[in-house]
Amino acid sequence: MNTSIFIAPVPQSSGHPAKDLAHRDLLSIQDLLPEEVRALLDLTALIKARPADFRGALSGKQVVMFFEKPSLRTRLTFEAGLQSLGGQAIFVDQTRSRLDERESLSDIAHNLERWVDCVILRTFDHVTVTGMAEHASIPVINALSDLEHPCQALADFFTLEEKFDDIAKVTLAYVGDGNNVAHSLMLMTASLGAKIRIATPKGYEPLGEVVRAAKKIAASTGAIISVSNDPIAAVTDADAIYTDVWASMGQEQEAQQRAQIFEPFQVNEKLMAHAASHALFMHCLPAHRGDEVTDAVIDSPQSVVFDQAENRLHIQKAILLMLLGGGLRRFRPRSTNA
């Protein structure tokens, strides 16, 4: 993982959460105040229950998607979601070259802001996402970077809210690599006042900067966040168990070494037995069956992995509506000086 990270400044609310989000970027869960996270989840529930009410809501809006990594759920849910809202998605495959290989991010951004209404990026380096947001005067959405996966975490907690009455009483255990998914889950937990226990092998913990940022938010919401190297302690009596692949895209050369290190963190029936009897199993997918999770767990009635995948569609629609539905595109004024 690239350890150069961006910790977002805490946004300041000036009115209704939905209005405040118009024309903003979504690079990190930290870009959202707790009340804005709540507004997004509430809008998602409405969209899912009454999709016909939102047909044509983004008519005429165009979004460009640059993906440096392969994708199934992220690409299709953004494309299908935008089309159902009346907009159009333009996909650019960057899997053979990085986005800024041919020209600078600044030049790319200043082109894009004159053509489209929003940029969606799925990148390796988080600095690509922040760089685009710095230079573009249109909203930028992080569809995955090495630091965070905010859209996934929003869908995950929407799924948890569907399954449990009170999210503040839910204890989520995350077992595996302290990666981008773990980071966003911690920040979501903090925003919603829930509880999360992260368990990773030694040396694979979440970045300290992100843990501190999450705990800072938690201090005002009552959330509880803990990080350890003990998977059994993490899952004991937990309401949901979450895992991710042991070697993410770009870490394939480490896969064999990681498989040995992470073996005690496999989510199997023995580990699940320590959780609450009603515990759910969660995974952002794709899953490496037989590595981080066994077939017996991911295919069990406790598994909600396909509910999570479905909810990516609904949360993506809510994000697009909040960022694009508030008015016309804004452009940064140009200097007339020579």
List residues with catalytic annotation.
122, 149, 152, 244, 284, 312
Bridging pattern class, strands 62-67 and 118-122: parallel
Identify the burial level of 255 via C-beta atoms within 10 angstroms of its C-beta, where 0-12 means exposed, 13-18 middle and 19 or more buried: middle
The two three-digit tokens of residue 206, written as one number:
């979440």
Contact 76, 89 (CB under 8 A): no
Q: How far apart are CA 254 and CA 312, in angstroms?
A: 29
Q: How far apart are CA 327 and CA 329, in angstroms?
A: 7
For 57, what's the count of Cα atoms within 13 Å in the CB-facing half-sphere? 21
118 DSSP β-pair partners = 63
For 208, what's the count of Cα atoms within 13 Å in the CB-facing half-sphere? 1
The two three-digit tokens of residue 25, written as one number:
């970027």
